[in-house]
Amino acid sequence: MFKKQIIAIAATLLAGHGASALAADAKTVEVMHWWTSGGEAKALGVLKDNLKERGYAWKDSPIAGGGGEAARTVLKARVASNNPPDAIQMLGFTIPEYAAEGYLANLDPVATKEGWDKLVPPPIQRFSKVDGHWIAAPVDVHRTNWIWANKKIFDELKLTPPKTFDELVTAAAAIRKAGYIPLAHGGQPWQEATIFDSAVMSAGGPKFYQQALVKLDTGALGSKTMEKAFDQMRALRGMVDPNFPGRDWNLATSMVISGKAAMQIMGDWAKGEFASAGKKANVDYLCFQYPGTEGTFIFNTDQFATFKKGEASVPGEQAFASTIMDKGVQARFNQIKGSIPARLDVPEDGFDECGKKSMTDLRSALKADAMVGSFAHGHAMPDGPKTAVYDVVTHFFNSNQSSADAVKALVSAVNNSK
Ligand code: BGC
């Protein structure tokens, strides 16, 4: 399926790049990514500076578009025309898919020297390694089951973080009555999918989440519990403003920062935007878990894979992988980005309270088997079913479909995609 897509794209492109496209400057590493928001760009600066210190120039290839859909499309086209970048940001199942086709370079030499095996949590390694070989370097651990709230609005209305979904609904009504938008949302499929991660977890807990979104079990997908997840999505739809369609995630975050809206359900890259605007945790904004998901950790890890491009590229690519996994880099990068380090040995000093909470929660969720991959960000199921579920979730959010019908659609979409 994946190979066919690449071949199909290649057929639509003019051939002829050939080997010349691969003969890049050996002292330059071209890095493709989708980190173009204010907070993301600042965090990226940490990686750029460190690579420079190692004697390599950074050639920046940003492809705007939160969630990375646009970047993945451009990558397919570049691979098809035999002109991939040296390194690219990748999520979840995309990594083993490219590795299976033989495109990715083996990072074992640097991974072994630096002892990555002992540093990275197993649920993340599951995507960084194929057949026991390292093929990607994880830089962060993001979490999707967060709510970001404007503290001034919460204080004014004497609200505290809701503990149950019903409390969230009650708080939203009070916020609306006071003239604020309860929920800042960007109507793009990946953002709706990001909310769905939390709704499924809240409705059924980590075992149900795994059964439905990781194992794709028909019974779980078609269950009453899944209907409850859609019921939550319907209630959330009622909390947004009329201008949500198409809005970028960082513009939604700005609405919370400026006090136009009270909350946003988003991964902790949103925290990078608060930080970039000079806002402080528990002073200007609050961070708390989506009600009903406390104790669970829905993760999304940014990794960088490098492409096989011949001997000349090897030193630059290995140096780049070392940059990504550098202990000091992971501390500085993640303090800006809003995430926490993929290395478990980075101390929590310098992280704000939301970051520290994430670090503690990750460790306990790991023990309790409550750390699960984000469906929205490609860590729960491969690309085929993921796209099918995206369509179901977005159609539901943007129509008047009933939860019972959405569940039926979900079951058939997943079965057809297998
Ligand atoms: C990435 C984050 C990024 C976010 C918004 C996610 O897919 O994992 O690193 O900040 O998209 O662009």
Predicted confidence (pLDDT) per residue in 372-383, tens digit: 999 999 999 999
pLDDT at 18 over 50: no
- Position 313 confidence tier, pLDDT thresholds 50, 70, 90: confident
Atom of ligand 1 minimally distant from the CA of 140: 9
- Residue 147 and residue 132 in one domain: no
- Residue 334 and residue 355 in one domain: yes
Output the CA 144–ligand 1 centroid distance in Å.
10
Q: Calculate mean pLDDT across residues 59-69.
A: 97
pLDDT of residue 7: 57
pLDDT of residue 16: 39
Pocket around ligand 1: residues whose beta carbon is below 6 Å from it? 34, 40, 66-68, 91, 142, 249, 269, 300, 302, 377
Atom of ligand 1 minimally distant from the CA of 142: 8
The SS3 assignment for 328 reads: helix
Atom of ligand 1 minimally distant from the CA of 66: 12
- Residue 129 and residue 152 in one domain: no
pLDDT at 338 over 70: yes
Q: Calculate mean pLDDT across residues 141-149.
A: 98
Output the CA 178–ligand 1 centroid distance in Å.
32
Q: Are 270 and 194 in contact (CB under 8 A)?
A: no
- Position 26 confidence tier, pLDDT thresholds 50, 70, 90: confident
- Residue 33 and residue 178 in one domain: no
Output the CA 67–ligand 1 centroid distance in Å.
5
Neighbouring C-beta atoms of residue 282, cutoff 10 Å: 11
Ligand 1 binding pocket mutation candidate from 33, 34, 386 (most atoms within 8 A of CB): 34
Output the CA 249–ligand 1 centroid distance in Å.
10
Residue with CA nearest ligand 1 atom 1: 67
pLDDT at 97 over 50: yes
Computed over every residue of the chain, the mean pLDDT equals: 95
pLDDT of residue 14: 43
pLDDT of residue 418: 84
- Position 2 confidence tier, pLDDT thresholds 50, 70, 90: low
Radius of gyration of the chain (CA): 21
- Residue 149 and residue 242 in one domain: yes
- Residue 107 and residue 84 in one domain: yes
Atom of ligand 1 minimally distant from the CA of 338: 10
pLDDT of residue 320: 98
- For 391-406, the pLDDT digits (tens) are 999 999 999 999 999 9
Indicate the DSSP class of residue 211.
Answer: I
Q: Calculate mean pLDDT across residues 130-151.
A: 98
- Residue 175 and residue 322 in one domain: no
Output the CA 257–ligand 1 centroid distance in Å.
19
Atom of ligand 1 minimally distant from the CA of 37: 12
Output the CA 35–ligand 1 centroid distance in Å.
7
Residue with CA nearest ligand 1 atom 6: 67
- Position 15 confidence tier, pLDDT thresholds 50, 70, 90: very low
Strand partners, 264: 148
What is the rounded CA–CA span in Å between residue 249 and residue 270?
8
Where residue 295 falls (left for φ over 0; alpha for ψ -120 to 50; beta otherwise) is left
Percent above pLDDT 70 for the chain: 94
Residue 169 identity:
V
- CA angle, residues 171, 185, 284, in degrees to nearest 5: 60
Q: Calculate mean pLDDT across residues 105-115.
A: 97
- For 195-234, the pLDDT digits (tens) are 999 999 999 999 999 999 999 999 999 999 999 999 999 9
The reported pTM is: 0.95
- Residue 215 and residue 102 in one domain: no
Where residue 65 falls (left for φ over 0; alpha for ψ -120 to 50; beta otherwise) is left
Output the CA 143–ligand 1 centroid distance in Å.
10
What is the rounded CA–CA span in Å between residue 268 and residue 300?
10
- Residue 75 and residue 112 in one domain: yes
pLDDT of residue 184: 99
- Position 66 confidence tier, pLDDT thresholds 50, 70, 90: very high
pLDDT of residue 162: 98
Residue with CA nearest ligand 1 atom 5: 66
Q: How far is CA 252 from the centre of its chain?
A: 16
- Residue 285 and residue 391 in one domain: yes
- The CATH number given to whatever domain includes residue 150 is 3.40.190.10
Residue with CA nearest ligand 1 atom 8: 302
Q: Are 4 and 10 in contact (CB under 8 A)?
A: no
- Domain finish residue from 325, 349, 367: 367
- Residue 147 and residue 123 in one domain: no
Q: Are 378 and 386 in contact (CB under 8 A)?
A: yes
- CB burial of residue 169 (10 Å; 0-12, 13-18, 19+): middle
Output the CA 374–ligand 1 centroid distance in Å.
12
Q: How many domains does the chain have?
A: 2
- Position 160 confidence tier, pLDDT thresholds 50, 70, 90: very high
Percent above pLDDT 90 for the chain: 93
- Residue 12 and residue 124 in one domain: yes
pLDDT of residue 204: 98
Token pair for residue 290? 């989506």
Output the CA 301–ligand 1 centroid distance in Å.
9
The parent domain of residue 160 ranges over 143-298+375-417
Atom of ligand 1 minimally distant from the CA of 267: 4
Output the CA 78–ligand 1 centroid distance in Å.
21
